[in-house]
Chains A and B, each alone.
Chain A
Amino acid sequence: MLFYVIKRFVQMIIVIAIVATIVFIFVNMLGDPAVLLLPPEASPEELAKARAAMGLDSSPWEQYKLFVVNVLHGDLGNSFVFREPAMKLIFERMPATLEIVVLAMFIAALIAIPLGVYVGAHPNTFVSRSILSLSLLCISMPTFWFGIVLILVFSVQLGWLPSSGRGEVIIVWGMRLSFLTWDGIKHLILPAITLAVQQLATQLRLTRAGMMEVLRQDYIKFAKAKGVSPHDVLYGHALKNALIPVITVYGLEFGGLVVFATITETIFAWPGMGKLLIDSINISDRPVIIAYLMLASMLFVVINFIVDILYTVVDPRIDLR
């Protein structure tokens, strides 16, 4: 076990190093930030000065070496626009993103898992078929469009819920949180639902598939033959094993939602890290883009690491090589 953990840890470090290099190369192909940031009438001298100030006048190789040294010190440079450390900017906005992501995952799981169990256990009823069709519709729906329709109905037509911003926030341990005030909750509802819908459909289908797979197995037949009540077979015997794939995907989907939140944040002007990314792309704020991509990638690598370890804990049959 320990050997496996160490091996996976080393792999994790290698992947992070490769990702960092790729991110650096890709982002360096962006346009010249000096041209984009200075007014169009700026003279060549002013441009050169701006480039020097941003550390862009040295060779790509020098820049890369500096980048690696800085990354190891946890420094990803200052934002060209805000003149503040890029990491700080992202960390400031992270709670906002995590807030809608966690809420969306919670909403999704709360609805998807019971429905998935039901649909998996009774695949041929009318209700099951309707639920499945509805989930297909959810998967096929463009998230950004769904958000817009929600705004149209609940903000523009009915005027029940606000359509942008975080509302009143309370600061807890230096994090600005919305879900502790009534106004904040009202602001949270629409973005969280928007983000949850596709997740809900995916989780429902996964739970259903897992359930159907498990219910076919011999130990379930044995439990039924033994006279265990149908309810206990479903929730006691089957659900535990059906949830294994769901747990794995849960971790990955969490990371996916952090990236996907970019869309929701753009629509609802939610000041999270996804909106920061899109704003930074539009103004070529290179350090912030790099910092976002690095942080997001690291998040995925770490989540994968944890999920792999958890997987073996949940299901001891899995072979550790």
Chain B
Amino acid sequence: MMDNKSLISKIIKSEGFYNFKRNPFAIAGAFIILVFLFTAIFGPHMVSQNPYDLAQLDLNDSYKPPIWQEGSDPRFILGTDDQGRDMVSAIVYGVRMSVTIGFCVTIICMIAGTTLGLISGYKGGRLDSFIMGLVNVQLSFPSLLIAMLVLIAFGRGVWKIILALAFSGWVTYARTVRGTTMAEKGKEYVEAAKVIGFPERVILFKHILPNVMTPVIVIATLQIGTVILSEATLSFLGIGIPITEPSLGLLVAQGYVVLFSGLWWVSVFPGLVLMLLVVGMNLLGDFLRDEFNPRLK
């Protein structure tokens, strides 16, 4: 408990937090992220219907416009889609999906990429050439193409899209961590740990890892936004999340079909929410990057 408290006070007293308080963009980003996290966790319990439970939908409610337009229904603030789904509920469920996928993919990438980067940088030699060869080949292809390839092979599905995006996202960590590890491994504290006789595993994960975490955190914050956008894009194209599951990208796709009948709200609102979520992630990510990389200030 004591430890925890001192950590918090340490953060509050740090220069980074001081800069954070004085940067309205960073505060806005953090606030947006908190709102979305809250929505993702509690939102589905607070909305009026489960839009993905067909028994709760009524086709008579389909295509109601948002509340400020003529012919709307006060139950549906942002209107309904073709199946009488409340847009607010559908968006809240979609946000939960986006946030879940964003965090899952980022955590998988972070663990896999950092581990491989550490090993690659520390061991060097053949293993290093192999891992870095893989990284370089993968970096020369756009991540969207790689994710598409995986999804074409395995088909649509929530876990499949997580796998596909993780498969294309680990390389940035590996490359960065490898570079930092190579710089760290010549330092005295590593030599000292070796002399004491710690096993390699301990040296890598207890001694070197904390010193390479800074860039990893920056990459992770910026990656969450990218992952969320990629998921939405792939789902929009019809190769990501299956139609039985909630997804903001799929909602936009549904709205696209009826766009020319003047039913604009099915597409516009989910996309707007998606953008806000990614803006929040990018605002905070940009702040962290500048904070940890003072040369860019």
Residues of A bordering B, CB below 8 Å: 15, 18, 22-23, 25-27, 29-31, 133, 136-137, 139-145, 148-149, 151-152, 156, 163, 209, 212, 252, 255-256, 259-260, 262-263, 266-267, 278, 281-282, 289, 293, 296-297, 300-301, 304
Contact indicator A140/B278 (Cβ below 8 Å)? yes
Number of interface residues of B (CB under 8 A): 45
Tell me whether A148 and B141 are in contact in the complex, defined as CB-CB below 8 angstroms, given that A26-B149, A26-B152, A142-B232 are known contacts: no
- Asked if B238 is at the interface of the complex by the 8 Å CB criterion, the answer is yes
Which residues in A have their C-beta under 8 angstroms from that of B141?
Answer: 297, 300
A163 to chain B, nearest CB (A): 8
Which residues in A have their C-beta under 8 angstroms from that of B260?
Answer: 156, 163
Tell me whether A142 and B153 are in contact in the complex, defined as CB-CB below 8 angstroms, given that A255-B142, A263-B236, A282-B238 are known contacts: no
Tell me whether A259 and B237 are in contact in the complex, defined as CB-CB below 8 angstroms, given that A18-B137, A140-B279 are known contacts: no
Which residues in B have their C-beta under 8 angstroms from that of A282?
Answer: 238
Of the candidates A22, A31, A144, the one whose C-beta lies within 8 Å of that of B252 is A144
Q: Nearest A residue to B270 by beta-carbon distance? A: A145
Selected A-B contacts with CB under 8 Å, 24 pairs: A22-B149, A26-B152, A27-B152, A27-B153, A136-B279, A136-B283, A137-B279, A140-B275, A140-B281, A142-B232, A142-B236, A142-B274, A142-B278, A144-B271, A145-B252, A145-B275, A148-B255, A148-B271, A151-B259, A152-B259, A255-B142, A259-B142, A297-B141, A300-B141
Q: Provide the bound-state CA to CA distance between A31 and B229, in Å.
A: 27
Contact indicator B152/A142 (Cβ below 8 Å)? no
Contact indicator B275/A301 (Cβ below 8 Å)? no
Which residues in B have their C-beta under 8 angstroms from that of A143?
Answer: 233
- Asked if B145 is at the interface of the complex by the 8 Å CB criterion, the answer is yes
Which residues in B have their C-beta under 8 angstroms from that of A26?
Answer: 149-150, 152-153
Q: Nearest B residue to A26 by beta-carbon distance? A: B153
Q: Nearest B residue to A267 by beta-carbon distance? A: B256
A-B interface, 8 closest residue pairs, ranked by CB to CB distance from nearest: A145-B271, A26-B153, A140-B278, A256-B142, A140-B279, A29-B153, A304-B140, A144-B236
A294 to chain B, nearest CB (A): 11
